[in-house]
Amino acid sequence: MKSKSPRYGVARVISKLGLGSRTQAAKWVREGQVRVNGRLVQDPEFPVNPNADRIAVAGREDAPARLVVMLNKPRGLVTTTSDEQGRATVFQCFEGAALPWLAPVGRLDKASEGLLLFSNDPMWAARVTHPSSGPDKTYHVQIDRLSDAALLKALEYGVNVDGERLAAKSAHSLRSGDKNAWLEITLDEGRNRQIRRLLSAFDIAVLRLVRVRVGGLQLGDLAKGQWRALTEQEIELLAAQGHQT
């Protein structure tokens, strides 16, 4: 007996096609803007076969070309499409640009800066952010004390914080002032506020935190608040890199 092709809710499929978020897709369905094989559907969970059924949103059946952009995120912006508290979000950096729907690929907290990715391809984003297969991420971190070899070794060894083992894949000293220092810290996993929590466990405060590299993709000289589209080669390399050894 031939097995049936998998079927998924139409809102989920629209999201996977990169046409919009799942919430937005469900809204389109309920508003009567979605047809499957020419038939109007208004149930976001209406089952469809993404490989066989024709899905049209507002009359369009074509999915947009995959797009990935990198932003040099300024400090003070929240990584979300909208904020219930009315805070400024990273999407203000795209105002006036003719871009399709994009979602952040991972995140940087409000006080952090640097390289932040966005894409309209949820499947690509899932590969890049997966804990076991995503590329390493490198940060330059200014701390409120001087650094020494013992601290760097301790950061790489790690510590238990709230039941989690937090550690840097690598930690190096970049430069020191009279009372503070800059470190380069690389992570091979993406736990929430990992660097801040790791340093806090050693009673060290973070003065600045800038993500400078994701895998082989470097922030470079991209100006604060500016963005650029990645080349197809850069997009494929990020998805294929995984954790560097």
Going from the N-terminus, what domains does the chain have, and what CATH number goes with each?
A: 8-57 (3.10.290.10), 68-133+219-241 (3.30.70.580), 137-214 (3.30.2350.10)
Compute the CA torsion angle 156, 159, 164, 169 (nearest 10 deg): 0
DSSP annotation of 78 reads B
Among candidates 218, 213, 193, which has minimal Cα distance to 108? 193
Tens-binned pLDDT, residue by residue, of the chain (245 aa): 444 667 888 888 887 776 777 888 898 899 888 888 889 999 999 998 876 778 888 767 666 678 999 999 999 999 987 778 889 999 999 998 888 888 899 899 999 999 999 998 877 888 888 877 789 999 999 999 999 999 999 999 999 998 889 999 999 999 998 999 999 999 998 788 999 999 999 999 999 999 999 999 999 999 999 999 999 999 988 988 665 44
pLDDT at position 117: 97
Q: Please report the sign of the dihedral spanned by the C-alpha atoms of residue 222, residue 73, residue 211, residue 203.
A: positive
pLDDT at position 61: 66
Report how far residue 33's alpha carbon sits from residue 105's, in angstroms, rounded to the nearest whole number.
Answer: 27
Residue type, 169: K
Report how far residue 15's alpha carbon sits from residue 122's, in angstroms, rounded to the nearest whole number.
Answer: 7
Q: Which residues contact 193 (CB under 8 A, 6 or more apart)?
A: 109
Residue type, 1: M
Report how far residue 95's alpha carbon sits from residue 97's, in angstroms, rounded to the nearest whole number.
Answer: 6
Asked if 228 contacts 70 with a C-beta cutoff of 8 angstroms, the reply is yes
From the candidates 43, 109, 144, 148, which is the catalytic residue? 109
Please write the tens of the pLDDT for every residue from 87-139: 999 999 999 888 888 889 989 999 999 999 999 887 788 888 887 778 999 99
Query: Max alpha carbon distance in the chain (Å)?
Result: 75
Residue type, 34: V
pLDDT at position 99: 83
Asked if 106 contacts 190 with a C-beta cutoff of 8 angstroms, the reply is yes
Tokens for 125? 């984003």
Residue 8 bridge partners (DSSP): 48
Tell me whether residue 59 is exposed, middle or buried, using C-beta atoms within 10 angstroms of its C-beta: 0 to 12, 13 to 18, 19 or more: exposed
To the query of whether residue 221 is one of the catalytic residues in this protein, the response is no
DSSP annotation of 207 reads E
